[in-house]
Structure 1
Amino acid sequence: MVLYRRNFLPGGTYFFTVTLVDRRSSVLFENVDALRNAFRTARRERPFELDAIVILPDHLHAVMTFPPHDADFAGRWRRIKGHFSSALLRDGVEITRHSNGELALWQRRYWEHTIRDGGDFARHIDYAHFNPVKHGYVRRVCDWPHSSFHLYVRNGMLPEDWAGENGESRDGFGERAEEGRLEG
């Protein structure tokens, strides 16, 4: 068994990939308002900055920054997942259960990466924003509705035609050849 060690950096910025158990599901996309409310509630309970996010049908990518002296991202993800799952149950959405009775909605683990510097931050935000194009959901980044990309455009940080058609004007989007590819 591989021993996986997480890097807990108080006040750090992290990139996350969080995935549903059923990779064929579209429950995140179909219940995006409940997911947004889960994030809002979790932020009120345990503050963090949401620097970027993209919500796809079966997984999401987020870049989050935590307050000084705080690195409890696991607790925040527990809250986000829990609030979302509870909202789905309240709304009558069928969620299968594991043999022990636990909900079988979210994968237990998630991918996390500690952002090292400004370049790393930009690469991971680019990767998140480009992910709907990478997966073939849209041809242009601006066509995916559930992305912080639109906030970046409104704030003048990115042009609406960023990445062009199918990423023609950009290369890599956070995937550094010497480190391998980010998982999507």
Structure 2
Amino acid sequence: MSWHIGNRAGGTYFFTVRLADAESDALVRCIADLRRAMRHTLNHHPLRIDAIAVLPAVIHTIWTLPADRAGYSNRIGMLKAKFSRSMPMPGHRTPAQIARGEKGIWQRRFWEHRICDQADFDRHRDLVHLSPVHAGLVQKPQDWPHSSVHRDLRRGVQPPDFDPAAFPPRPATRRDLPRDVILQSSRHGQRPGSDSFQRR
């Protein structure tokens, strides 16, 4: 993906953003810092969060962006940078990370998929809300505290059904969507993105 495409303005997108350490729990352990980073990003570059689930080392979310020049890469980069500044310097960094001024908290790239219609939106919203179940963290979407499924419940939207036969839970140490779901999303237009901020 080119920088230009990665900063495309407007539209509704599904994103997956990961920490560099897949076994980390920093996103939920430091959830207050993540919320402050999100508020900071929203204050500078408004967007609508249609769905979100924060797992220990992964964020799955759907954003609707205004037609401004900032694009989604700038927003994701700002979120990463603000959260990283709240984290202590890790004990080990690669020479490349040191040269770029990075803490190495986040994976440099992220996944994005542009939502094309209501059915596509509903499917990806369900993926977001089911992700803690897929990761083996809880039995039901509403059991996970760091999820917009609770907002949907207050609005009368029922959580998606979980079919164990179709999506067997992974151990809690594998904090991501099942590979077949990721591959299916890739076939429907999901692709890697990048951000332009340096201090991640």
Q: TM-score range by the shorter chain?
A: 0.7 to 0.9
Give the superposition deviation at 1:182: 3.8
SS of the residue 2:109 aligns to: coil
Q: Does 1:15 align with 2:14?
A: yes
Aligned to 1:29: 28
- CA shift at 1:88, angstroms? 2.1
Q: Per-residue deviation at 1:155?
A: 1.3
The one-character-per-residue Cα deviations of 1:97-123 (angstroms, maximum 9, x if unpaired) are 331312111000000001101111111
| Equivalent residue number for residue 112 of structure 1 | 112
1:75 — aligned with what?
74
For the aligned residue pairs, the C-alpha RMSD in angstroms reads: 2.7
Partners of 1:36 and 1:95 lie apart in 2 by 25
Paired residue secondary structure (2:184): coil
Give the Å deviation of 1:96. 4.3
1:57 and 2:53 are equivalent in the alignment:
no
Return structure 1 stretches of 4+ with deviation > 6 angstroms. Answer: 169-172
Give the TM-score normalised by structure 2.
0.75
Q: Distance in 1 between matches of 2:92 and 2:127?
A: 31
Q: What SS does the aligned partner of 1:63 have? A: strand
Where 1:79 maps in the other structure, the secondary structure is helix
Partner SS state of residue 146, structure 2:
coil
Does the aligned pair in 1 maintain the 2:16–2:60 contact within 8 Å? yes
1:98 pairs with 2:94? yes
Gaps of 5+ in 2: 168-176, 187-200
Cα drift, residue 153 of structure 1? 0.3
Shift of 1:94: 4.2
SS in 2 for 1:75: helix
Assess, with a 3 A threshold, how the Cα gap between structure 1 residues 131 and 144 changes in structure 2: closer, same or farther. Answer: same
Tell me the SS of whatever aligns to 2:51.
strand
Separation in 2 of the partners of 1:84 and 1:140?
28
In the alignment, is the contact (CA less than 8 A) between 1:16 and 1:62 conserved in 2?
yes
Secondary structure of 1:25's aligned partner: coil
Aligned equivalents of 1:170 and 1:157: distance in 2?
24
Q: Aligned partners of 2:57, 2:154: CA distance in 1, in Å?
A: 27
Query: 1:17–1:60: 8 Å Cα contact kept in structure 2?
Result: yes
What is the aligned partner in structure 1 of residue 45 from structure 2? 46
Counterpart mapping for 1:155-174 below 5 A: 155-158=155-158, 162-163=160-161, 167-168=162-163
* Unaligned segments of structure 1, at least 5 residues: none
Change (3 A) 1:21 1:180: closer
Contact 1:63–1:125, Cα closer than 8 Å, also in 2: yes
> Aligned in 2, Cα 1:27/1:95: closer, same or farther, shift over 3 Å?
farther
Residue identity opposite 1:98 in structure 2 = T
Tell me how far apart the structure 1 counterparts of residues 105 and 147 of structure 2 sit (CA, whole Å): 22
Is 1:147 matched up with 2:147? yes
Q: Which has the higher contact order (CA 8 A, sep 6+)?
A: 2
What TM-score comes out, normalization by structure 1 length? 0.81
CA drift of 1:71 comes to 5.9
Contact 1:115 1:121 in 2 (8 A): yes
SS where residue 88 of structure 1 aligns? coil
